[in-house]
Chains A and B, each alone.
Chain A
Amino acid sequence: MVAESHAAHLSQFMKDVIADTPGGQKVVHCLQCGSCGGSCPNGSEMDFTPRAVFAMIAADRRDAVLQANTMWQCVSCYLCTARCPQEIPITEIMYALKRMAIREGKAGGSDAPALAKTFTDFVDRYGRSFEFGIATRYLLFNKPLSMLKMGGAGMSMFAKGRLALTPTKIRQVKQLQAIIDKARELSNED
């Protein structure tokens, strides 16, 4: 663990990542072993493997990392985290990088932020989600062509009663919204 007194020597980007990730201080212990990059089911699709990303964070290559697709290719399977010999919370760092990229407006290259937004908008409104509806809505607005490809399977799902058209609404939506509003407000504070 980095003693707080040593944190001053880290790159600014590293400091920010640590500040935004619970347990993130461990990242300074990365051995560059590549267990994470070798394990990731989506490693082959990433611009930079997680390992390379950690080297770039240390080297303060902020834009190159935040504009990369790496974290957007992460599906939170936690395989890297389970295997990292230094017990670095890699998946949580991927979440932090997603948040930073959105916050700094650098996530342009990926559809994933839009998908995430569609999803949480629904939850904000209804308190529950309905994943297929969300997927459809997302595709409709963002990738109309792929809707056509879905065709058959989508229809069968509908026929089997597995495709809801509206989400259920919880009773105390107001309460949930109050909580969300407060949390948003608090997170803007720092």
Chain B
Amino acid sequence: MAEKIGVYVCHCGSNIAGKVDVEDIAKWAGENLDDVAVSRDYKFMCSSLGQQMIEEDIKKEKLTRVVVGACSPHLHEKTFRRACSNAGMNPYLMDLTNIREHCSWVHKDRAQATEKARALISAAVQRVKYQEPLEPMFVDVNPATLVIGGGIAGLQAALELADAGYHVYLVERMPSIGGHMAQFDKTFPTLDCSACILTPKMSEAGQHENITLLTYAELEEVSGSVGSFKVKIRQKARCVDYDACTGCGICVEKCPRKVLDTEFEAGMGNRKAIYMPFPQAVPRVPVIDQDSCIWFERQKCRACEKLCPTDAIKFDQQDELIDIEVGNIIIATGWKPFDSKKIPQYGYGRLANVYTSMEFERLCNAAGPTNGKIVMRDGKTVPKSIAIVHCVGSRDDRHNPYCSGVCCMASLKFGHLVLEKTDAEVYSFYIDMRTNQKNYEEFYQRLLGEGMRFVRGKVSEVTDAARMPTEQGKLIVQCEDTLIGRQQRYPVDMVILMGALEPQEDARELGLKCGISCSMDGWYTERHPKLDPVATMTDGVFVAGTCQGPKDIPASVAQGAAAAARVAGMITKGRVMIEPIVATINEQACSGCKICNNMCPYNAIEFLEDPGVSRVITALCKGCGTCVAACPAGVITGAHFNNKQIFSEIEGILWDALQPADDSSPQAEPVPASAS
């Protein structure tokens, strides 16, 4: 075979060259590997000069294949494919092998890292010989978009797209959109009223002609890929006819069953069995909580049904599955609060006047259970002193190693609200004061001026075990004041635990459905942490807001808008390229056993009754290879990953163990039974 292969080994500055002897490998490949016509190393292969070098070589040396040894294909496969295309070579005749993440970044020993890189280059050279030219496929982008999560980030994304004239399905699992922001009283650092700035956006979304609001609904299933996703949404049974209900609220008012509201009111207030989470809820259509309703419990009551002026109550309503088709998906599912009971020494759940931050938000809220009066659990006593405990479940290897980013500011906000509304002393117990956004440090200064007290030390425990008469009947906060180096005890009336922001319970599961992954901490992984923060590794799936990592409202809004802009760009372009890396069934040889039909995780194989064979629906196939391995007749081929390519890659890796190839062709090697 007279292939002419160019090998390009990248230094990546010192990222690779620091641990891998790139010059030696380039030289070695040029001298020892068959069919290598050119072999070079270069400081930054992805730079325009690097790409130019490859392009010129292809033209001048008439290269037929290219191997690049550099970083992850996630990062630069497109770059090098484009360079090959530019020079007139089919881009699928290029192989990028990763000697950075797989070698230099993970190995300590230079010699061993170099040997591994050498083996990977050798593997790529062997494989690339058998790569086949492929033609990219294009699909039209469906201009509709699915936004999952109706918090501030999702709302922003939905409104941007809807205003640009594109249709949006906004799916929210609670009965109303709004997210956490709807629960807040004021927002730092400006202290504007949260409802005042949020509700206009909520009602706009509720009324927008381009937005289909699906509340009390969750994502069931996603198939297809960028440009044309098919999505199943589960609309949970509200037991209220959405179209008939006028939102008059009579049912809620008359419902005799009151239960603790652990969701919107964070356990600080009650709601009825039929409820709208809060007065400004969008949509204004209540839901019946079937676990609390008397009718569902013992077939009594039906007061709501009797009194509803529009006969909208439908006890027998069932969950409904709704099929929609969209071109892109934006995930904006936000965060959930840390469970403060996991730190028993802070007494939450045992000591009545220890509160979580979300409980305190409700307590402060003018529309909350106490109309914004800050009182203790007895409902009347105004506290004389309040301790705010920072970093509860954050910056703690036993819980979450990361900083939640917003709780220092939220503490300052609470401090201000307490000082404004009561005569109480407020203490903040902090490790580091993190106020690093616009106007945040100024807010800290403001609170210093307002008389909030600051103690630098992580709280060790909150206890009711008094040691002195002055501590009797108080909650005692014990910590080291690290600035004076002494252990101190502060008797207070109320304690607020600033719990961490955590990923949603079902974040991984939802990510899996959409084909994206989470970091170790459980936040969604963006395509690039600096340069591509709202895209993901899956084309057509974007993330926005706190589901990608803790952040404040301004940053969540910015990400919502950014994700919308990315989607709008795709829609405007109208067509997207999808990888031609798909499976094909040799229909002449297919025995029609149908084994592959059910194996395909993407439902991409159909059975053609007439000739009695299976066929891959190319637009749905993701090239995962499951069917290739499953077919008992061995008649399915995975493009770009066929047996020949894989086996020669393995031989390439084992270059030093194998005899130099003279007459042994890859097919002569024993082939595992399942692959033949």
* A and B touch in their complex, CB below 8 angstroms: yes
Q: Is the CB of B479 closer than 8 A to any CB of chain A? A: yes
Asked if A51 and B345 make an inter-chain contact with CB atoms under 8 angstroms apart, the answer reads no
Asked if A85 and B479 make an inter-chain contact with CB atoms under 8 angstroms apart, the answer reads no
Asked if B487 and A33 make an inter-chain contact with CB atoms under 8 angstroms apart, the answer reads no
Q: How big is the B interface, by class?
A: 20 to 34
Residues of chain B with a CB closer than 8 A to A49's CB: 480, 485-487
Chain A 21-40, CB-CB to B under 8 Å as 1, else 0, gives 00000000001111111111
Residues of chain A with a CB closer than 8 A to B431's CB: 31-34
Q: How big is the A interface, by class?
A: 20 to 34
Residues of chain B with a CB closer than 8 A to A35's CB: 458, 460, 479-480
| Smallest CB separation, B216 vs chain A (Å) | 39
Asked if A37 and B397 make an inter-chain contact with CB atoms under 8 angstroms apart, the answer reads no
Residues of chain B with a CB closer than 8 A to A104's CB: none
Residues of chain B with a CB closer than 8 A to A33's CB: 391, 395, 431, 457-458, 482
> Closest chain A residue to B390 by CB distance?
A33
Asked if B398 and A38 make an inter-chain contact with CB atoms under 8 angstroms apart, the answer reads no
Within 8 Å by CB of A37, from B108, B396, B482, lies B482
Residues of chain B with a CB closer than 8 A to A51's CB: 480, 482, 485
Assuming the contacts A48-B485, A85-B458, asked whether A38 and B397 have C-beta atoms less than 8 A apart, the reply is no
Asked if A34 and B398 make an inter-chain contact with CB atoms under 8 angstroms apart, the answer reads no
| Smallest CB separation, A30 vs chain B (Å) | 11
Asked if B397 and A43 make an inter-chain contact with CB atoms under 8 angstroms apart, the answer reads no
Asked if A52 and B485 make an inter-chain contact with CB atoms under 8 angstroms apart, the answer reads yes
Asked if A43 and B457 make an inter-chain contact with CB atoms under 8 angstroms apart, the answer reads no
Per the bound structure, the CA–CA distance linking A33 and B459 in Å amounts to 9
Within 8 Å by CB of B395, from A52, A83, A85, A87, lies A85
Residues of chain A with a CB closer than 8 A to B345's CB: 83
Assuming the contacts A52-B485, A83-B345, asked whether A34 and B395 have C-beta atoms less than 8 A apart, the reply is no
Per the bound structure, the CA–CA distance linking A33 and B460 in Å amounts to 10
Residues of chain B with a CB closer than 8 A to A31's CB: 395, 431, 458
Asked if A44 and B398 make an inter-chain contact with CB atoms under 8 angstroms apart, the answer reads no
Q: Which of A3, A5, A34, A86 has the most CB of B within 10 A?
A: A34
Asked if B487 and A44 make an inter-chain contact with CB atoms under 8 angstroms apart, the answer reads yes
Within 8 Å by CB of A34, from B108, B461, B482, lies B482
Per the bound structure, the CA–CA distance linking A87 and B398 in Å amounts to 8
Q: Is the CB of B280 closer than 8 A to any CB of chain A? A: no
Q: What are 19 A-B contacts defined by CB distance under 8 Å?
A: A31-B458, A32-B482, A33-B431, A34-B431, A34-B456, A34-B460, A34-B480, A34-B481, A35-B480, A37-B480, A37-B482, A37-B487, A38-B478, A39-B478, A48-B485, A52-B485, A83-B460, A85-B398, A87-B398
> Which A residues lie at the B interface, using CB under 8 A?
3, 5, 31-40, 43-44, 48-49, 51-52, 83, 85-87
**A33-B482, A43-B480 given. 4 additional CB < 8 A pairs?**
A35-B458, A38-B460, A87-B397, A87-B398
